[in-house]
Amino acid sequence: MTKNMKKILLIFAVAFCFSTGSMSQTNQILKLNKGEKYQVDNKLETTNSTEVQGQTMDSKANISSTYNIAVKEKTDNNYNLTNTITHMVMSMSMMGQDINFDSDKKEDMDGQMGTALKEYINRPKNVVIDNTGKVISTDESDTSATGIAKQLNLAATGYGAQLVFQALPKNPKVGASWTDSTNTDGIKRTTNYTIKSIDGNIATVTFNGTVSTETKMEQQGMEVSTKTSGKFSGEEKVNTKTGVVQSNTTTGDASGTVTAMGQDFPTSSKVTSTTTVKAL
């Protein structure tokens, strides 16, 4: 179950902290300029407890990622971006087994995890988003990804794009609220936003929502399915003129079951995500 729990941890983290689609109101648009560049630093921390045969199995994973994102041009209502994952550090602990990875270390990139990530680390990817921030297309889909890259859903999240852009209502005002919903690959997420305050060009936006997962995976011929539901909340600071996020903090928790070998195992998970964005 160890490898499967690693996958489940990452599925939870991505479900809570990355929106893989958008249903923004039509009056919410980004205003980006050709040549703008941003560095994005994100840290995910997740813990999980699963009951197996009367015993509690605790797992945790920490993932730190750095992305460089450049606005190449605007075409009609879409923006063409080049997104590069420049650094990734992971540490996981499951059933007394520690797993560590640092993309700056050659020996790690030559290992099993690095092999799955070689096509992504320091490899610029073309990403197209619409003027609400929804990812329209990428160089490839996650169906071609394997291992850890597939679990992190890198293509669907736009190689960091979903962390950077938050379209606000036209002429944003304190108290304005809206809702976004996504439903992709067995992960449903609904987020309710409210503008808490505005200081100059920076809006403080609070949000809360629900997320549910219903996924299946196969490991060594054994099918493992998960079914969970949870809640999350947080706060972010967004430039009202552009829709570029300056910072974001999200916390969430979920509970449900993992089904394997004909048995249901109760599980619970907690996730914290912190993101900072700076112009280059």
pLDDT profile of the chain (280 residues), mean per 10? 53 62 60 95 90 81 95 93 96 83 96 90 94 85 65 82 90 92 81 95 95 76 81 95 95 87 85 94
Q: How many domains does the chain have?
A: 1
Look at residue 132 in the predicted model and tell me its pLDDT.
Answer: 87
CATH number at residue 14: 2.30.230
Look at residue 94 in the predicted model and tell me its pLDDT.
Answer: 73
Look at residue 263 in the predicted model and tell me its pLDDT.
Answer: 81
Look at residue 23 in the predicted model and tell me its pLDDT.
Answer: 45
Q: What is the pTM of this model?
A: 0.88
Q: Domain containing 252: what range?
A: 2-279
User: With contact defined as beta carbons under 8 Å apart, do 154 and 12 qualify?
Assistant: no
Q: Are strands 187-199 and 202-219 parallel, antiparallel or unpaired?
A: antiparallel
Look at residue 262 in the predicted model and tell me its pLDDT.
Answer: 79
Virtual torsion, Cα 246, 128, 17, 7, nearest 10 deg: -140
